[in-house]
């Protein structure tokens, strides 16, 4: 069997035309790295998808008590992850299935009771962690059709705000009119793993969500199929059980650390209500020094506060928060009660991968949904060209001539597209729009940015 390179060079899927960035070796620290190395040779799933899915699920299982803190804001192991790849070849669901099976072995009660499929409304989400209805404030949402959620956001005005509050760990509240009562979750710990195709993501992400802070609460990960296994793969049961035991021990360690910081009566109350007391993880001196370098001080910005141009900045503007939460997750997976520099290096490597993924997905979008829809089709087309008739068909021929003129002018205004008349066929010349060589070259460079942590 050919073992996939779990870090690897950037790859270009023949279907998606999205460059998969390289994952730095430092991202494979500790238990998360051991899991990826053990599973990757036996699955077609992308190692990055395995890693990000595990970090999100493990972070949910360990709870929201242990955290890092910046000012008055706590940063627990609470992650929102979006796995981006084509439906037929990315094996997004495969990664989820493999990691879920491992979590089922490690934490069967959490797996059976706290994983929920899909988000239909703010009310449905809050009901699952409501103070009076649930004895466990942890919730792992697996949204295998994230495009459906994006469509739902436009229809249910309070859902986006509820998801953002869930990421921030704020109390959630909604009034149920037909029941004449309110739902309230005081200290929810909700994590999300979503799967989506790149075209669906670009097309359906509502324009308002580009600037509302919804999108940048997610870690984006471009993934491809890692290898071909016509007969499937098989991991030795003893290996799986050993990994599951380590996960179980790490989850137990996090809970014991949190509950040990309070008095016996409070501990019983916390355990009864399925909650953890907030406990700050101290930082080592090496962590603090490296953090200052990454964050920046005074008038000098570090890599985590590097300004991204245009709309891309909206997707990468929460870098410090993501890195701290990832560092907490790695520390808890190590059963560590302190945040050390190796946890920060691993977290930063994951962030660099996700930032490079965001560049690959969103680096060329304009904010005009119609123009972006055509650009996405151009990048995905085998020859990176499209005719005006194709553009009309892309919008189901519902655009007027004037509207098509505006879209085509918008394409040319981006500087990424050229226009020519093709007279090679019979009849009238055909209007053809093509991506420039420079645009394709820039797309490659965008995907490679951030591969080497500084």
Domains of the chain: 11-363 (3.40.50.300), 369-445 (1.10.10.10)
pLDDT string in tens for the chain (454-residue length): 344 566 655 443 333 456 788 999 999 999 999 999 999 998 989 999 999 999 999 999 999 999 999 989 999 999 999 999 886 665 666 788 999 999 999 999 999 999 999 888 999 999 999 988 878 899 999 999 999 998 888 787 789 999 999 999 999 999 887 777 789 999 999 999 999 988 888 778 766 676 788 999 999 999 988 777 776 678 889 999 999 999 999 999 999 999 888 888 888 888 777 788 999 999 999 999 999 999 998 878 899 998 776 677 788 889 999 999 999 999 999 999 999 999 999 999 999 999 999 988 887 677 677 888 888 888 878 889 999 999 999 999 999 999 999 999 989 988 889 999 988 878 888 999 999 988 877 665 554 544 433 3
Please state, in angstroms and rounded to a whole number, the distance separating the CA atoms of residues 50 and 382: 29
- The tokens of 44 are what? 């077609």
d(CA 207, CA 133): 35
**CB-based contact 253:30 (threshold 8 Å):** no
Taking CA 28 as the corner, what is the angle to CA 26 and CA 29, rounded to the nearest 5 degrees?
A: 80
Rounded Cα distance between 255 and 441, Å, is 49
Report which DSSP code applies to 339. Answer: B
* Cβ-based neighbours of 107, under 8 Å, separated by 6 or more: 61, 247, 248, 251
């Amino acid at each position: 069997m050919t073992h996939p390179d779990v870090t690897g060079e950037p790859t270009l899927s023949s279907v998606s035309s999205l460059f998969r960035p390289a994952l730095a070796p430092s991202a494979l620290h500790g238990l998360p790295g051991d899991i990826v190395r053990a599973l990757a040779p036996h699955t077609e799933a992308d190692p990055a998808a395995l890693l990000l899915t595990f970090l999100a699920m493990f972070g949910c299982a360990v709870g929201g008590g242990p955290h890092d803190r910046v000012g008055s804001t706590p940063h627990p192991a609470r992650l929102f992850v979006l796995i981006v790849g084509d439906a037929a070849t990315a094996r997004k669901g495969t990664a989820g299935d493999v990691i879920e099976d491992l979590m089922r072995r490690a934490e069967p009660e959490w797996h059976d009771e706290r994983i929920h499929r899909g988000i239909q409304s703010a009310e449905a989400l809050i009901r699952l962690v409501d103070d009076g209805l649930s004895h466990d404030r942890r919730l792992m949402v697996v949204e295998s059709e994230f495009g459906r959620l994006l469509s739902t956001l436009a229809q249910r005005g309070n859902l986006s705000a509820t998801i953002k509050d869930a990421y921030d760990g704020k109390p959630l509240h909604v009034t149920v009119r037909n029941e004449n009562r309110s739902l309230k979750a005081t200290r929810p710990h909700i994590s999300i793993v979503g799967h989506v195709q790149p075209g669906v993501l670009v097309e359906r992400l509502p324009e308002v969500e580009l600037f509302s802070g919804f999108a940048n609460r997610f870690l984006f990960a471009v993934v491809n199929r890692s290898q071909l296994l016509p007969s499937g793969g098989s991991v030795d049961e003893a290996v799986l059980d050993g990994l599951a035991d380590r996960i179980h021990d790490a989850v137990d360690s996090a809970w014991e650390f949190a509950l040990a910081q309070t008095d016996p009566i409070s501990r019983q109350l916390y355990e009864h209500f399925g909650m953890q007391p907030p406990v700050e993880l101290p930082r080592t001196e090496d962590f603090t020094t490296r953090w200052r370098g990454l964050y920046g001080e005074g008038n000098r910005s570090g890599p985590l506060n590097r300004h991204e141009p245009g709309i891309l900045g909206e997707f990468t503007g929460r870098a410090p928060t993501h890195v701290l939460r990832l560092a907490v997750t790695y520390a808890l997976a190590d059963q560590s009660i302190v945040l050390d520099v190796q946890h920060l290096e691993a977290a930063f490597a994951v962030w660099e991968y996700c930032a490079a993924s965001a560049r690959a997905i969103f680096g060329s979008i304009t904010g005009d949904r119609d123009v972006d829809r055509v650009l996405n089709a151009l990048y995905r087309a085998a020859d990176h060209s499209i005719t005006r008739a194709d553009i009309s068909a892309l919008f189901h021929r519902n655009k007027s001539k004037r509207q098509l003129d505006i879209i085509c002018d918008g394409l040319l205004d981006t500087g990424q597209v050229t226009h020519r008349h093709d007279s090679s066929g019979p009849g009238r010349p055909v209007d053809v729009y093509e991506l420039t060589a420079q645009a394709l070259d820039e797309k490659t460079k965008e995907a490679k940015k951030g591969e080497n942590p500084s």
